[in-house]
Amino acid sequence: MAANDAALESLLTDFIGRYARERDHYLKAAQLCQQTCEVLIGRPGIRAMVTSRAKEIPKLRDKVVRRHQSKNYKTVADIESDIVDRAGVRIALYFPGDRDAVSKLLREHFVVAVEKNFPRDAEPVATSKRFSGYHASHFRLRLKEDSLGKNEKAYAQALIEVQLGSVLMHAWSEVDHDLTYKPTTGALSEDELAILDQINGLVLAGEIALERLQKSSERRLGKEDAPIGSHFELAALLHKRFAVEGQEPDVGRVDILWNILQRAGLANKAAIDSLLAEVDPLPDAEPISDQVVTRILSDRPELSQDYVRLQSGLVPTIYGVGETLETADLRDQIGSFLSNWIVLERTTTILVPTSQRTSARLSVSAELLGKIGVNQDVFRHLRLVRNQLVHGIEIPSAEVLDQENKKLDAILSFLGQHPREDVRQAYRKAAAPLNDARG
């Protein structure tokens, strides 16, 4: 026994020493995953709390010792292949009915190695329990390398465990796990186990109530006179209206749209229905929120600066940090780029005949710009940068954005001095509201 203890202690020393040196790497990978999940879940307005962590060393040590009893580790590699939750993210859903939608997002935007759903069909409920226990989905996944900045590519190698379940289920599982697997005063009594089982039943009943509440809210939002009270409700309305069998609608940044609707005095179902009437829901069209915002800014250009502030204000949120000189510079570059983009967008909108204007056609047209002498390849690259900024998954550096701003400035300068009078007039009309807002 002493020899076995000494062997395990030697393995532990090597494994923990290696992990201590790499812990910051796992922590950063988990934070990047958390930030991506927050953006992905925030787009359709799914309500959830997303947290991340790298496993604490004392907890990791305790887990290795506990699992060694059944795994009988022989090498450090045995431990590393078995303990896969060194980097972890937890997604706690307000409504358990959103679990399938979030699972789909995870499969689409990460490299999923393993997916497990609990309870498993092959695992019968223990005879001492009346309820089915833990309901959640666990993913072992990696970040996609092409979604990371050039200085973040190394984090694509880290395996991250993502736990997806309801707020209620996560709370119960924490209590159950800590009391069942980490008792400080011996094994739990039969009465204590029965109480945990009873709480599990209450949690399952609570999840059913939450699912009913979610469906009731969706029915309420279907009524003509329904008030729209938040971007979550707006997202539910958009999903219900544009959902197609087997395909999630691309609703875009609903939170940004919601803020613009409020500023425009249009945050009511009648006004929103009118705006949605001209939306193109096809997969190759702009996201629904983008189309609606474009329509609003076309009619109310004085709101353009509000839109720019909303978008550039996302920088600290995306990076998970407070305001710094670096993020302030990035914020300024994003603001400049989006302001210029709006001028370009409004210029082309003005050039489109009124009879041909719809929300789907108001976005900047490469073909139209090509006809008036703008390099379409340069424009298409700039549109990619714009989409990165608006949708928040990957934000270019301030230095990169400075170069992109110069390209956009050159296009606007060309339009302002264009040989055609109608192009020059369209540019001046497009730029005037933003120039007035800047003072």
Distance CA 3, CA 251 (A): 61
pLDDT of residue 121: 56
Sheet of 48-54, strand order: 48-54, 87-93, 160-166, 136-143, 110-118
pLDDT of residue 107: 95
pLDDT of residue 330: 75
pLDDT of residue 313: 65
Q: How far is CA 60 from each of CA 2, 17, 90, 137, rounded to the nearest angstrom? A: 22, 12, 17, 22
For the chain, the domains span: 2-212, 222-289, 300-439
pLDDT of residue 164: 97
pLDDT of residue 317: 47
Q: Which residues of the chain have pLDDT under 50?
A: 1, 316-323, 359-362
pLDDT of residue 58: 92
Contacts of 364 (CB under 8 A, 6+ apart): 341, 344, 345, 348, 379, 383
What are 88's strand-pairing partners? Answer: 53, 161
**Is there a contact between 336 and 384 (Cβ–Cβ < 8 Å)?**
no
Q: Hey, what amino acid is at 336?
A: S
The reported pTM is 0.69
DSSP code string of 366-411: HHHHHHTT--HHHHHHHHHHHHHHHH-SS---HHHHHHHHHHHHHH
Bridge-based pairing of strands 48-54 and 87-93 is: antiparallel
- Tell me 279's DSSP state: -
* Token duo for residue 405: 């701003």
pLDDT of residue 159: 96
What SS3 state is found at 244? strand
Three-class secondary structure assignment of 302-317: HHHHHHHHHHHCCHHH
* Token duo for residue 235: 């997202």
pLDDT of residue 334: 83
* Token duo for residue 289: 């929120």
CATH of domain 2-212: 3.30.460.10
